A = this chain, B = another copy of it.
Amino acid sequence: MSEELGLSVKKSEDFGKWYLEVLQKAEVVDTRYGIKGFLVYMPLGMHTIKEIYNLFENELEIKNHKPTLFPVVIPQSYLKKESEHIKGFEKEVFWITCAGKNKLTERMCLRPTSETAMYPMFSLWIRSHLQLPLKLYQSTAMYRYETKMTKPLMRGREFLWIEAHTAQRNWEDAENQIKEDMEVFKKVSTDNLCLPFILLKRPQWDKFPGAEDTYAFETLLPDGMSSQIGTTHNLGEKFAKVFNIKYTDNQKRKKHVNQTCYGIGIGKILGALISVHGDDRGLILPPVIAPVQIVIVPIYTANTKTKVMEKCGEILGKLEEKGFRIHLDDREQYTPGFKFHEWELKGVPLRIEIGPIDIEKHKITFVRRDFLERVTIDEVKLEEFVLETLDSIAFQLKKRANEMMLIQDAKDYKELKKKLKEGGFVRIPFCMKETCAKKLKKETTAEVRGTLFGKSEKAEGNCAICGNKANEMVYVAKAY
């Protein structure tokens, strides 16, 4: 453990540097593994990842998704079946070509995503409309040979995610699945993790390889850049035709299924919430996923030690019984001040300080991580206060994050360029032509990220780029 807990840079001064430093000093991940783009998840990072997985898995299971696991390797012949799909992925897959001293007769890749692993099995499994919708998910890592700069959790070559695949009776059911995917995301990301997002339908030239339509969950980072933390795709019948996935409907007709696939970027979500919620002291973890929600730091001298530790044990027991994740920091080798800093760095939402004076007065002193403010309450109010304060911290994190979720309007190119400098999304009327999007990207590095899902926004005025007739309102942002 590093003895130097302080961060050398403020988040507002240099977000990029702050981010790398907080990941390292708070021991979330270690970037020093011997292969570029592959991370080591340390206990704090992995514990948090597990909590995020649990939240999404529970929500998916409520919606009747069932867990599965498909192999990490995909034979080349499977990957090649859907022509757009292989075109999209062939440049970025890792190939296994040997085993032991033998050359494999058919090479196989590490899964970049699992459509081509799963759908041959769907074809064997699906027979009747009574089996539909088939809704399966798996919690795994995916592998893509990123050639751009990697950034821990944000862009790498081994990525933790959930992928949920469904087979539906028709296009309409598939469209409804996209709505359900949004509900699942809202429940976990917004409600539990205090991380707002918008869901954008990507322009046709920016779809998932093989999809009819692609939708992306996007949130904003403190540098004003957009991060895609999830996607969901309506695949229509494209893969069903290639992989021969058919069912018999209730009038005995053979039909192709309609499919959807949904990717939840578990690692990216962790990266985003660290970025959005953290401050100059380190992490601030939303209470629902904090591996430790409350830490108790005893403050004593040789004379008062027994009394103080006894009280610590009592408080620990009381709160543990109520189901809080609580830790008593009884390490002898560190001062209370050191411990305060360490737990602040690690983002523990609530700290309790127990010393002899408080004990005599039947008081308890708390420090909440978001405001770093010290409050002393009557001991009898302990549980009520903890419950309310954890709720209040979640509320504050949400409020701050929503304030950062900057969405502005611009009518013309000049206004657009000006507002892009402030960061965040800029909404513009747009002609929906790829040439305009390319021009924008070239001149500003910003991208047309898509139209808002589920809420019709009529184009007002002319395209902010070319001045021709606008067709839709689109959201523009600089993006990772």
Given contacts A35-B75, A40-B69, contact A131 B1 (CB under 8 A): yes
* Bound CA span A136–B45, Å: 13
Contact A93 B97 (CB under 8 A): no
* Bound CA span A73–B157, Å: 11
A68 within 8 A of B: yes
Contact B158 A72 (CB under 8 A): yes
Contact A94 B94 (CB under 8 A): no
Contact flags A71-85 to B (C-beta < 8 A → 1, else 0): 111010110000000
Residues of chain B within 8 A of A46, CB atoms compared:
66-69, 138
* Bound CA span A34–B158, Å: 23
A39: which of B33, B71, B92 is its contact (CB, 8 Å)?
B71
Contact A68 B95 (CB under 8 A): no
Contact B99 A94 (CB under 8 A): yes
Residues of chain B within 8 A of A138, CB atoms compared:
46
A20 within 8 A of B: no
Given contacts A33-B121, A100-B92, A121-B32, contact A72 B72 (CB under 8 A): yes
Main secondary structure of the interface of A (DSSP, over half): mixed
Q: How far is the CB of A321 from chain B (nearest CB, A)?
A: 17
A42 within 8 A of B: yes
Contact flags A128-153 to B (C-beta < 8 A → 1, else 0): 00110000101001010101000000
Q: Which of A216-261 contact B (CB under 8 A)?
A: none
Contact A96 B72 (CB under 8 A): no
* Bound CA span A379–B88, Å: 60
Contact flags A99-141 to B (C-beta < 8 A → 1, else 0): 1111000001010000001001100100000110000101001
Given contacts A43-B67, A47-B67, contact A97 B100 (CB under 8 A): no
A385 within 8 A of B: no
A68: which of B42, B145, B160 is its contact (CB, 8 Å)?
B42
Residues of chain B within 8 A of A78, CB atoms compared:
34
The 7 sampled A-B contact pairs (Cβ below 8 Å) are A30-B124, A34-B75, A35-B71, A38-B71, A41-B69, A49-B69, A100-B147
Residues of chain B within 8 A of A124, CB atoms compared:
30, 32
Residues of chain B within 8 A of A70, CB atoms compared:
33, 40-41
A382 within 8 A of B: no
Residues of chain B within 8 A of A98, CB atoms compared:
94-95, 97
Q: How far is the CB of A80 from chain B (nearest CB, A)?
A: 12
The 6 closest A-B pairs by CB, nearest first: A43-B66, A38-B71, A99-B145, A41-B69, A46-B67, A95-B98
Given contacts A66-B47, A333-B130, contact A72 B30 (CB under 8 A): no
Contact A71 B121 (CB under 8 A): no
Contact flags A16-38 to B (C-beta < 8 A → 1, else 0): 00000000000000101111001
Given contacts A32-B121, A39-B71, A69-B41, contact A91 B100 (CB under 8 A): yes
Residues of chain B within 8 A of A71, CB atoms compared:
33, 35, 38-40, 158
Contact flags A329-343 to B (C-beta < 8 A → 1, else 0): 000010000000000
> What residues make up the interface of A, taking CB atoms closer than 8 Å to B?
1, 30, 32-35, 38-43, 46-47, 49-50, 66-73, 75, 77-78, 90-102, 108, 110, 117, 120-121, 124, 130-131, 136, 138, 141, 143, 145, 147, 158, 160, 333
Q: How far is the CB of A300 from chain B (nearest CB, A)?
A: 20
A97: which of B91, B97, B143, B158 is its contact (CB, 8 Å)?
B97
Q: How far is the CB of A323 from chain B (nearest CB, A)?
A: 14
Residues of chain B within 8 A of A1, CB atoms compared:
131
Residues of chain B within 8 A of A69, CB atoms compared:
40-41, 46, 49, 160
Given contacts A43-B136, A96-B95, contact A35 B67 (CB under 8 A): no
Interface contacts beyond A33-B121, A46-B69, A95-B99: sample of 4 additional A-B pairs, CB < 8 Å, sorted by A:
A34-B75, A34-B120, A72-B141, A96-B97
* Bound CA span A66–B44, Å: 9
Chain B residue at smallest Cβ distance from A46:
B67
Residues of chain B within 8 A of A67, CB atoms compared:
41, 43, 46-47, 50
* Bound CA span A127–B67, Å: 41
A30: which of B121, B141, B143 is its contact (CB, 8 Å)?
B121
Residues of chain B within 8 A of A158, CB atoms compared:
71-73
* Bound CA span A102–B91, Å: 9
Residues of chain B within 8 A of A147, CB atoms compared:
100
Residues of chain B within 8 A of A96, CB atoms compared:
94-97, 110
Residues of chain B within 8 A of A39, CB atoms compared:
71
Q: How far is the CB of A339 from chain B (nearest CB, A)?
A: 14
